[in-house]
Amino acid sequence: MIVVAAPGQGSQSAGFLAPWLEVDGVREHLGSLGEAAKVDLIAHGTVSDDDTIRDTKIAQPLIVAASIVTARLLLDGRRDKVGAVAGHSVGEFAAAAVAGILSDTDSLHLVGVRGRAMADEAAKIHTGMSALLGGESAEIDARLAELGLFAANMNGGGQVVVAGSTEALAALAENPPAGSRVIPLSVAGAFHTSYMGGAVETLREAAAAVATSDPTIAIYTNKDGSRVADGSTYLDLLIGQVSNPVRWDLCMDGFTRDGVTGVIELAPAGALVGLVKRGIKGTPTVAIKSPADLPAAIELLEAS
């Protein structure tokens, strides 16, 4: 079973869309997706600097659009070769489009709403996120509870992303759990926590006007790593995910349970295949970072 995975926020880098614009049809596709999201994806994906595209309301549409564009090229005539799809955080919107739950433009419309709403919530209070690597689970849980921090992303392979007030994150970095290290992340707020409650309601209102279909490719949810067979249920999970933890570790458990034989990460790739290499050792992976990576991804897919 080949799993096609879509990355989350933080995977973007300045100019990463430039080589994709040389591929037939991509510029037009990105243009329509940008209109849906109300973001100039072509400009931000080619000439904007890293600080600009770190902005939540720009980063999220950029990442999802890149994954959708990549998927269209990868799966052209090969859709039946995909065993399942999954996304990490905002990447679940790309996964929903790939699986046929949402149209490409509806996905980008909702991501545009999501990004703006999350940026608005993040501006209300100083919060952030840090990666916590290593350490014992019990000690980590105790330290987070002591500081009032949340485990926002359980990524597997000994990596947990924690979120909360900037003061509490600073205290964690000064005195981390034994055997762990803390890496501050360049994100605007405490995503996937109760700090994002207002964004959930904004996204829910926008989603009420969007049609869904049941997936035509199996799809996993970040909620608990299970497969979801109903399109409207998956959309509800996408809405709630904004203020709930991302359980990528449980998604990888699901891949293993269901007999994964390879993982292909859509652009802008790298982070998820790294987690797979640590969490599901020996699984073949391909990270699609540019059009030059498509042949290797197609080869893995067609060999399934």
Catalytic residue annotation: 89, 192
162 bridge partner residues: 130, 151
Beta strands in the chain (DSSP E): 2-6, 84-87, 127-134, 150-156, 159-165, 180-184, 246-247, 262-265, 285-287
Apex 115 CA angle, 114 and 119, nearest 5: 115
Instruction: Evaluate the omega torsion of the peptide bond into residue 268 and state whether it is cis, within 30 degrees of 0.
Output: yes
Say how far apart CA 63 and CA 69 lie, in whole Å.
10
Strands across the sheet with 159-165, in order? Answer: 180-184, 127-134, 159-165, 150-156, 246-247
Say how far apart CA 58 and CA 46 lie, in whole Å.
13
Q: Is 118:129 a contact under the CB 8 Å cutoff?
A: no
